[in-house]
A and B are shown apart, each in its own frame.
Chain A
Amino acid sequence: MAFLKPISPNTSTTRAPQSQRRNEPEAIGPGTMVSVTIDGATTEVPYATTILDAAKKLNIKIPTLCHHPDLCVAGVCRICVVEIEGMRNLQASCAYPLTQPLKVNTHSRTVRQARRHVLDLMLANHYGQCTTCWRNGNCELQQLAEEYGVDMTRFGSVVTPKHEIDRSSYSVVRDMNKCIGCRRCVRTCIDLQEVGALEATRRGAETLISTFQDKPLGDVVCIACGQCINRCPTGALMANDPTDDVWAAIDDPKKHVVIQTAPSPRAAIGECFGQPPGTALTFELNTALRYCGFDKIFDTNFTADLTIIEEGTELLMRLHRALVGGDTTAAVPQFTSCSPGWVKYLEHFYPEMIPHMSTAKSPQQMFGTIIKTYYAKVHNIDPADIVTVALMPCSAKKFECNRPEMAASGYKDVDFGLTTREMAAMIKEAGVDLPNVPPSEFDSPFGTATGSGVVFGATGGVMEAALRTVIELVTGEKVETLFENANIMPVRGFDGVRYAELKIPKVGPVPPILQHLFKDFEWLNGVTLKVGVAHGTANAKRVIEDIKAGGKFSECHFIEFMACPGGCLGGGGQPIPTSPEIRAARAKAIYAEDMGYDIRKSHENPDVLRIYEEFLTDGPCGHKSHELLHTSYTVRGRFIL
């Protein structure tokens, strides 16, 4: 029957249910300002502001657990209840919109009693010991128990664990014995990422956050992004931690242990050492890693530059096929492939779009391959004795390095992926006070990095790096003539989906590095390059649906996708907590680091140029690079058997 259709055809099936969405002001009614008195202090706030936000404005702290600045409202933990004059029931301040003047008390007798009961009830159903918990010292439940004076387990405690720990995923470990049912992970997965791998199952005290048919997480449609970990208030979710194996490799004198560090962890790891978000510790980190015992410390930016050359060349080849050859199978727009969560998302949800995916490997994987081939050869080390470790902001990178095809060197290209958090723990274990160690350089031969590699960490960064290179290679002009300081502002920012156009004003001669592929660039003269950027898979979904519907993104030439909100700097392996403000601070650090580099364009990186001279001698996208630096994808689909 016609009237039973959803409001808008865009209402996707995986969106969080209304009960867990933000109370949209327009859903309640129009208006301007409302006055509210909280604990005797009065202020005015925009219509439909929540009591919680109004209290923040007044510097009144109300405890929260299920509330998260990135997520829709849930109103389920009830720790944030307050008393409103004239109302019998307490109200959840995180979910209560102010639509009329109210008098609120945030710590009346019943409020304090309710809070204590909520905590008591959670603790009575929580199995875990803080001393052995990875969130010890950074756990919201623990902190509230301390702040609100939990003095005894009034309603009992769990003496034996009820749930088996699920370690099936390469990326996320689930220990539901520590879960307090705040459902932040559910909302992250369903609403922020629109994946929907997690959902509340069963009812009452048996309620359990679980997967489709309670299958192990490794067997369901999970993209390994780890965003759920970053938003879990407790130790119930954690990344699959290979720290012990890494220590074992370091301790083994036969092993040559090489670590590459990605740009985003360096801009965030300070947070694990009490530094404010946005503190870049790139060179201090090098020192700390040497203390830990890594034999060589390289900069992932090197292969980020290599990625730009390969992916940019691939783009030009696709455009040539499409624009000159009229080849309709060229699969334009080309999609970036460096975010393994995004790759898995596409493989699950839009496998028919796989031809659009750049075949270039991610910087992490390129690095692993280069280390176990070129580097091993040059330094005369048996690749079997090399252990490659990757310090990444990401939990999906752990999945990526375990993909079976990632063995182009003849060995597992990247042995272990470490998250920023795990690295911080290792550094602490080694007794290093990271913020206060002297800085030191990366090791050569992959020590030279460019600003382009650094900006990979922020959403829009891959696009910016690619444009800097493509513009210069094609026009023969400095990108600075088009964009001040080579900062391509239109692709920066945190809007979920961004679109930019750039007319190629003139073309130059084909540079030597591309002469094996193109005779001239006349065919690009006057072409308007159209590019897109999306971060967070919910936004990626918007873009893909637009392409399928023939919208403006279908006319794009190149689109950057990142699985995580904010890009890698908001990755699932980054320090906890996360919020829009924290991610913005990390982005600032990353862009500042970019400005500090002498070389800021990938194609000017001398180490990269040398590798094409010495090793990948048939040039970008040549036979050798195809063998080592490019990959293939798997049609996964979204149905679980």
Chain B
Amino acid sequence: MSTRNPILFNDIPAESGLRRALEMHPLDIVAEVRASGLKGRGGAGFPTAMKWQLAAAAEGATKYVVCNADEGEPGTFKDRVLLSDFADLVFEGMTIASLAIGATGGIVYLRGEYTYLVAHLESVLARRRQANLLGNDILGRKDWNFDIVIHLGSGAYVCGEETALIESLEGHRGEPRNRPPFPVNTGYMGRPTIVNNVETLCLAARVLARGATWFRQYGTHASTGSKLFSVSGDCAKPGVYELPMGITIADLLVEVGGLGAKAVQVGGASGHCVPSRLFDRTLAFEDAPTGGSIIIFGQQRDMLAVARNFMEFFVDESCGQCTPCRYGNSVLLDGIERLEKGTCSIRHLNELKALGETMELASKCGLGQSAPKAFLSIIEHFHDEVLGREPPHFAA
């Protein structure tokens, strides 16, 4: 059994998942996905079947399937590969989801920087409409009507958060909503809506094609199947890798030629930093979860500069709605600047750690809740490196 490219990057016949779903009752589709143990690949790892079931159970004749193709996490570029090389698989997954929850509308929320993909995606959609894989009475199944439109995002990272994404779709400022209610009940235009990551939808199509048992043979008990990793940074072979869930960081580094790394940032800016002594940790929901971003730092890297880089990202990308995140990021960035100059007192550092905790616990959405993570983990694991800076008057 090859551990590379087991599920997505292989040549399972096109539309076999869709054709199998066509023969099934919607509830059985959800049951199959549940049996597979598939969890969302957008970062949060929410069980996909549960989301689908809630939307299926929600009342309303109009429901939506939204494909989250905003891919804004720094160091993530795996959805781009799926959209450019496996567009049919993405749409197949959306179409299966529409049958499972009873949706009539599908929307791909496409990252603004991927505008160049629109022509390609539209041509694939046109071909699918012609083949009756979209439209009315899909593949002859009576009253299964579903079509997909593409909506371009306009560059805000927070619009990848599912409720901000919906606000943006509705033409508002992209700001996360209060939850509950959740999109499965009150989503796009107030209708039941599922928002799934590109990769999740592709995997769901494969689950339908080959069955839950086949899917579960990859990965761990709590993290089934494979995962696409977008690998970048100090390694010989950066790129997108499909590997089973639960692989250790060390094994992944072997695979990508990243031996001798000093640290790995798992999960992009909103993830956390793992130092080399913890490289036996596994990439799985139960251990070190990631939406796909793996950034490798070689020995020469200044970890404080790494922290600064991520913090600047959040200062720019906070939607500015809630207090902890709107201002907290700037305070943490200011703290990093003090550390750089060697002027951050231990007392202030402790205050920053506490503020980080508040941001994690009290921010309104996932952005603010994860913004301090990189900073906090670097402070924790690279304490000596980070605290050892000389104040300017000593340096001269």
Contacts and interface: CB of A to CB of B under 8 A. Distances in A.
Interface of A: 1, 3-7, 17-19, 23, 27-29, 73, 75-79, 81, 88-90, 92, 95-97, 99, 110, 113-114, 117-118, 121-122, 124-125, 154-156, 180-181, 199-200, 202-207
Nearest to A119: B323
Nearest to A95: B178
Top 7 nearest A-B pairs by Cβ distance? A207-B320, A17-B172, A19-B177, A121-B327, A3-B105, A204-B318, A95-B178
A114 B175 contact: no
Nearest to B361: A90
B190 A205 contact: no
A156 to B, nearest CB: 8
A75 B166 contact: no
A203 B367 CA distance: 13
B47 to A, nearest CB: 18
A203 B361 contact: no
B316 to A, nearest CB: 6
Given A19-B176, A205-B318, A124 B327 contact: yes
Contacts of A199: 173
Given A1-B149, A17-B167, A206-B320, A75 B178 contact: yes
B185 A28 contact: yes
Interface in B121-177: 147, 149, 156, 163-164, 166-167, 170, 172-173, 175-177
25 contacts: A1-B147, A1-B149, A3-B147, A6-B189, A7-B189, A7-B190, A17-B170, A18-B177, A29-B185, A77-B322, A78-B322, A78-B364, A89-B362, A92-B364, A110-B361, A117-B324, A118-B323, A118-B358, A121-B326, A155-B327, A181-B323, A203-B319, A204-B329, A205-B329, A207-B321
Given A114-B358, A203-B156, A205-B326, 14 more contacts: A3-B147, A5-B189, A17-B173, A17-B175, A18-B167, A19-B176, A23-B180, A75-B178, A75-B364, A95-B178, A96-B178, A114-B361, A207-B319, A207-B320
Instruction: Tell me the interface secondary structure of chain A in the complex.
Output: loop
A99 B180 CA distance: 9
B315 A204 contact: yes
A19 B362 contact: no
A547 B317 CA distance: 45
B104 interface: yes
Interface stretch (B23-31, B194-202, B256-264, B349-357): B349-357
A121 B357 contact: no
Contacts of B364: 75-76, 78, 92
Contacts of A110: 357-358, 361
A121 B324 contact: yes
Given A125-B327, A181-B320, A205-B327, A89 B189 contact: no
Interface of B: 62, 64, 104-105, 147, 149, 156, 163-164, 166-167, 170, 172-173, 175-178, 180-181, 185-186, 189-191, 314-324, 326-331, 334, 351, 354-355, 357-358, 360-364, 369
Nearest to A97: B180
B191 A7 contact: yes
A542 B62 CA distance: 27
A428 B166 CA distance: 51
Contacts of A204: 314-320, 326, 329-330
A27 B318 CA distance: 28
Contact of B105 (A4, A76, A78): A4
Contacts of A19: 163-164, 167, 172, 175-178, 321
Given A7-B191, A155-B331, A78 B316 contact: no
A3 B322 CA distance: 33
Contacts of B363: 78
A29 B60 CA distance: 12
B118 to A, nearest CB: 16
Given A17-B167, A110-B357, A110-B361, A77 B172 contact: no
Nearest to B103: A3
Contacts of A5: 189
Nearest to B369: A89
B144 to A, nearest CB: 14
Nearest to B105: A3
Q: Which of A73, A155, A181 counts the most chain B CB atoms within 10 A?
A: A155
A125 B325 CA distance: 13
